[in-house]
Every structure is written in C-alpha cells, then in structure tokens.
Amino acid sequence: MPSRPEVTLQEYVVAGPEAGPYALTAGPDGALWCTLVHQGRIARVTTAGDVTTYPLHTATGGPTMIATGTDGAVWCTEFKEHRVTRLVPGDAAGGAEVVSFTLPTADAGPLGIAAGPDGAVWFTESAADRIGRITPDGTVTEYPLPVRGAFASVIATGPDGALWFTANQANAIGRMTPDGDTVLHDLPTPGAGPVGLAPGPDGALWFVEIAAGRIGRITTDGAVEEFPLPDPASRPHAIAAGPDGALWFTEWGAGRIGRITTSGRIDVHDLPDPASEPHGIALGPDGAMWAALETGSLVRIAVAAEGGRPGR
C-alpha cells in the first residue's frame, strides 16, 4: 500500500480575522488572488507572502468566489450586492484596474465563477436559479435552471466542454452546454449538500458534500460515486486538482486539509489551528496547493515528490 505523502504547511497572514479570506485563484501574473469577503477587498499574495489589497466598488459587496479568465484578468462574484467584478493586474509596480458589472436580475446572489470553454466567464446565480455568462466588456447572458430553489453554487468547465455546477439545495450536480441546455444528476445520498466542484485528472468531475461528509465523483455521462470521509462532521467545502494526480479539499468544520486519490484513498492533515476555518483551495503558480483560512491567512501545502522532499 502506498505510504502517506509527506506534506509541509506554511502559513502567511494576509489580513485580520475580520476580513475573512474565502476563495483564491492563481492569477495570470504569477501571484495568488484572494477574496476578503467581509471587507469588500481582493488581496494579491506573492508566493513569498507579500500582500497587496485592492478595494472594490463598495466595502459591503461580499466578494466570494474568484477565478482567472482567459482574458488576462481576475474575476470575482460579489454575492451581497449582486455584481461580477473584473480586475486586470497592473505592471511590476503594482496596481489593478477594477471594473464592476451589476447583473440584470435583481438579488441574483452570484456565487461560483469560472473561465468558460468559449472565452467568456460563467457564474452561478444562487438566489435566482440561473447560470450567467459574462464577456470582458460586461455583456451578460442568463440561462434559467429547470428547478426552483436549487441554490447553484460552484461552477467549473468540464473535460467535455460543458459547464458543470453544484446544485446545493437540489442535491444534484448540473451540466449546462454553452448554449444553455441543462441536465441535473441527482445524488444518491439524500441531503448531501454539494458545494465545491473541480475537474479531476481522470476525466471526471469531483465535488464535496458538505452536509454528508463525503467526496463525490461524477463522470461526464452522469455516473456518481461517493467516498465517505473519516470524520463525517468535517464539512468539506472546496476541492481542486493537485500537482500529484490527486484531489485536495478543505474540511471547513474540522480545520484540516484533505487529499483523495482517484482510486478513493483519503488522507487528512491537521492545520495548526483547528478553528482556522479553511475555505477555498487552489493549485498555486509555484506547484503547491494553497488554501484560504477565514481566520486571516493563506496556507501553502507543499507535497513531497515521489521519493523526494516537499517540492517548492
């Protein structure tokens, strides 16, 4: 049986605990970009831990999820004020151009966001049962879902060129083509509450079930497999593919980072503070995994190469 991988954790403070680092993405400039959900700001964090923050249109917008587009910009959703915001990183001297777009549907509750297969950015409208598409100039198209009260959450482009998303309250995984055709795949566990979702290295989509304490896998033809976590009350929140052919996820309710192989083997790693509330997780530009801790930090998770020391 393969040995448990060697992991090194290094924490970088990016804000006070009142700021609430929530989600992060590897930006087009070789840095990490992180939402500060309670401050209405975006933080840029270099892999050495240097931090710059940028204010959004208001301090009360609730920037939530964040993604890097194909247009050289970083995009985020502002859940509380129903906007999608585009940030273009500046030159080496710093700075960023920030433009916000108010959505055509009132009280839409934009949440998940991802670069689409068509050069646009796609996002979920959790409170309006819609999926949105936005171009770099701010043109928005919205596609209704075939169910009410679904609370569409996280979205990602799948290996089949479709948009895949979690329907948290509908207990389903959705698939939408770029022209808006939608299919929902019900989950076998009732009340599982899917949230985070990401394409895996095996051609499937992987997701977390925050209410059931499980990791799920769905193929592009809709076949679902679920893997129970060692701690069913750990409340897994986000998931991302790692540099090692495995998936990495956050256990928001337990202060841990987890790893699952494509064959279903699970390992978990305690964070120094069990109350750190890890939320988003992403592969960084340096080949390590990074996670956002709501208590004010980013944590770098370096995974040892086979037979070697933890990589940088």
- Write the CA distances from 42 to 6, 23, 36, 52, 142, integer angstroms: 32, 10, 6, 8, 26
- Per DSSP, helices labelled H in 140-198 are none
Beta strands in 116-157 (DSSP E): 121-125, 130-134, 140-144, 152-157
Whether 261 and 245 have beta carbons less than 8 Å apart is answered as yes
Which of these is catalytic: 38, 82, 237, 279? 279
Residue 162: beta bridge partners? none
Q: Tokens 């609370």 appear where?
A: 151
| Angle of CA points 162, 209, 63, to nearest 5° | 70
What is the C-alpha to C-alpha distance for residues 46 and 181, in angstroms, rounded to an integer? 39
What is the C-alpha to C-alpha distance for residues 91 and 200, in angstroms, rounded to an integer? 33
What is the C-alpha to C-alpha distance for residues 193 and 185, in angstroms, rounded to an integer? 13
Let me know if 279 is a catalytic residue. yes
The 3-class SS string of 55-79 reads: ECCCCCCCEEEEEECCCCCEEEEEC
Please give the structure tokens belonging to residue 298: 């980013």
Q: Tokens 């499937």 appear where?
A: 204
* Residues noted as catalytic: 279
